[in-house]
Amino acid sequence: MKIGIVGCAGRMGRMLCKEVMAGDGLELVGGTEYDGSEFIGADISELSGLHPAGPMVTTDTAALFAASDAVIDFTLPEATTHHAELAGEHGTAFVVGTTGLSSPQQATIEAAARSVAVVQAANFSIGVNLLLGLTEQTAGVLGADNDIEILEMHHRHKVDAPSGTALALGRAAASGRGVNLDDVSDRVRDGHTGARKDGDIGFATLRGGDVVGDHSVIFAAEGERIELTHKASSRSIFANGAVRAARWCEGKAPGLYAMRDVLGFK
Catalytic center residues: 154, 158
Q: Which amino acid is at 153?
A: M
If one counts every other C-beta atom within 10 angstroms of the C-beta of residue 166, the result is 27
Nearest-angstrom CA–CA distance, 202 and 148: 6
The number of beta carbons lying within 10 Å of the beta carbon of residue 159 is: 9
Q: What is the 3-state secondary structure (H, E, C) of 181-206?
A: HHHHEECCCCCCCCCCCCCCEEEEEE
Element (H, E) at 61: helix 61-67
The DSSP H or E segment spanning 57 is: strand 57-58
| No. of helices (H) and no. of strands (E), the chain | 10, 12
Q: What are phi and psi of 64, to 5 degrees?
A: -65, -45
* Pairing mode of beta strands 2-6, 147-154: unpaired
| Neighbouring-strand partners of residue 133 | none
CB atoms within 10 A of CB 231: 12
By CB neighbour count within 10 A (0-12 exposed, 13-18 middle, 19+ buried), where does 32 fall?
buried
Within 8 A by CB and 6+ apart from 43, the residues are 52, 53, 54, 55, 56, 57
CB 57 within 8 A of CB 83: no
